[in-house]
Structure formats: structure tokens, C-alpha cells
Amino acid sequence: MIHCTPISVRFYELDPYRHLNHAVYIQYFEVGRIGLFKEMGWSLTEMVDLGTRVVVAGIETRFLAPGVEGDELVVETWVEDVKRVSMRFGQRIVRGEDVLATQTVHGACTRVDGRPKRIPDELLAGLRRFTPGAS
């Protein structure tokens, strides 16, 4: 399953060329991942309260076409891979049929002190819901 988050481009998110600023794409992707966790029933605050964090270990972003003021975009988010303590998310920002940007995020599960932690079973089950082809 793919999680979809609608977002409208606002004028103050544009660069001097009237294109969506590259840093804002990263923020939009973050909103999409947080939305995926919320749909799974996990807020970041609740995770921390349970002694678990999911942190970003790496990001690879490709910018393919500019977003402009007033665009109605959708951030698509899914889980590409899950291991004992790590996960990889795939993401796209689309405007209709046009793909504006893609991103791969490498995440890690840690305790609140930053040490690696095995992904809790409940979180793992939620991540698998958004992993295409997973059973």
C-alpha cells in the first residue's frame, strides 16, 4: 500500500525563480513519512514515550521538475525494505501524472539514548502494511 499526503504549494516556499525551493521538497517528504506513521497508529511522541525513535540515517533526493505556486501535489510514501533495526522508504512528489521529485530515505530504529534497537513487533507490522509485495 502507498500512503498519500496532499500538499498545496504556498508562495513563501518559492525560490527567486518562482520554483518550489529544493529544501521545501525535503520538508514535504518528511510530512509524508510522518503521515505514514500516523496512519499506522504511531505518532513520533508516542514512539519516544515507548522508548523508540526512528531516525534518518541518509537521504537521496532527485529533482525532476519544478513545483510552482498554487500546485496541488501529492507525496506518495511506501516502505521499500525493513531489517532488524533499519528501514528504507521510497517517496515521490507528484502533480497529476508528473513526478516532480523522488527520494529514498534510510532510517534506523534507536532507543531514546541513540543506541540501535530492534524494531518493535507492532511497528514492524505497521511498516509491512506499507511494503508492496510483503505478506
All domains of the chain in start order, with CATH: 3-129 (3.10.129.10)
- Taking only the tens place, the pLDDT of each residue in 54-85 is 999 999 999 999 999 999 999 999 999 999 99
The beta-strand segments (E) located in 35-84 are: 53-63, 72-82
Please state the pTM of the whole predicted model.
0.91
DSSP helix/strand/coil, 21: coil
Question: How high is the pLDDT of residue 134?
Answer: 65
Q: Which helix (H) or strand (E) holds 99?
A: strand 98-110
